[in-house]
Amino acid sequence: MAIQVNKVFNANVYLDGDKSLVGRASEVSLPDLEMSVNEHTGLGMVGSLEVPQGLNALTMSVKWNGFYAEHLRAGANPFRSRSLQIRASVETYGPGGRVEEKPVVWLVTASWKKAGLGTPTPKEALELEDELTCSYVKVTHDGTDVMEIDVLQNIWNVGGEDVLQAWRQNLGV
């Protein structure tokens, strides 16, 4: 089989489904899945083992390429979660060039930790950077769910597998 590579070169950000924000974000840093681990060591073990015990907080940031009242209204109230959708096209390249293009969608529910007001300077465009904390993240590629995490509902699905099924059952949840 020939080598194929996937590339994403652009994306759009939608706040609460509002398509007017197209082109207003210059960069989105999506949440990383960073495991919280517990180190285990014991008698008779030649070393130690890090055992996953859950996820660290899911955070993301958005850089806006100008002042937009919609983004400031969303970020000024940290007690209200908002829905963000980031849509992109995954381009697959092979020996003959581009083979296909398929959609990838990140759905995020988040509240603002920081709403940047920017630093106006002469002859430079104002950029504003927001930091958000996420309670829900879902990634869909070509209509198929890749992963879904809902921290408040104890949902963690990867490729259709319920990662927390036995854990919830054991806890009586």
pTM for this one? 0.91
Buried b (16+ CB within 10 A) or exposed e, 47-59: eeeeeeeebeebb
Q: What distance in Å separates the CA atoms of residue 172 and residue 155, rounded to the nearest whole number?
A: 14
Bridge partners (DSSP) listed for residue 37: 52
The per-residue pLDDT for 19 is 77
Averaged pLDDT in 10-residue chunks for the chain of 173 residues? 91 86 87 96 95 96 91 90 96 95 97 94 93 98 98 96 95 90
The per-residue pLDDT for 111 is 96
Q: What distance in Å separates the CA atoms of residue 134 and residue 109, rounded to the nearest whole number?
A: 6
The per-residue pLDDT for 71 is 84
The per-residue pLDDT for 17 is 83
Amino acid at 97: G
Structure tokens at 36: 């919280």
Contact 135, 108 (CB under 8 A): no
Closest CA to 105 of 25, 21, 19, 14: 14
Find how far residue 67's CA is from the centre of its chain: 23
Bridge partners (DSSP) listed for residue 56: none
The per-residue pLDDT for 68 is 87
